[in-house]
Amino acid sequence: MEIVFATFESELDHDAIEETMRQRAQKFREVPGLVQKYFVHDRENDRYGACFIFDSAQSRDAYFESDLSAGVGAAYAVTGEPAVTKAHLLFPLREADGLPDPA
């Protein structure tokens, strides 16, 4: 499994960002190979973003090449460059039924 943590700054206020996240959530439920997505707010630095968990590097890469990914900047009025970290999941602390094997 693959994890991506991405954050950005925005011209929008908090309520508008959260509403946009909620409006777009269903589209993310339909992304092939996206096991989970956590919508996040770094209050200290006022950055928003997400922690994505993908079932494979192929699913991760396909998402980042998609129109849904390409539309993030406009949807959230992103300013500056997003910070993106990609990592391979070695193993979880707790096992969860129904999740793919991280290896």
**75 token code pair:** 């949807």
> Is domain 2-88 given the CATH code 3.30.70.100 in the classification?
yes
pTM of the predicted model as reported, rounded to 2 decimal places: 0.87
Residue 101 confidence (pLDDT): 63
Report d(CA 54, CA 60) in Å as an integer.
6
All structural domains of the chain with their residue ranges: 2-88
- Name the CA dihedral angle for 87, 92, 97, 103, rounded to a multiple of 10 degrees: 50
pLDDT digits (tens, 9 = 90+) for 21-70: 999 999 999 999 999 999 999 999 999 999 999 999 999 999 999 999 99
Residue whose structure tokens are 């793919």: 100
Look at residue 97 and tell me whether its pLDDT is greater than 90. Answer: no
* Cβ burial, residue 2 (10 Å; 0-12/13-18/19+): buried
Which secondary structure element, helix H or strand E, spans residue 87, and what is its range? strand 78-88
**57 token code pair:** 């590097």
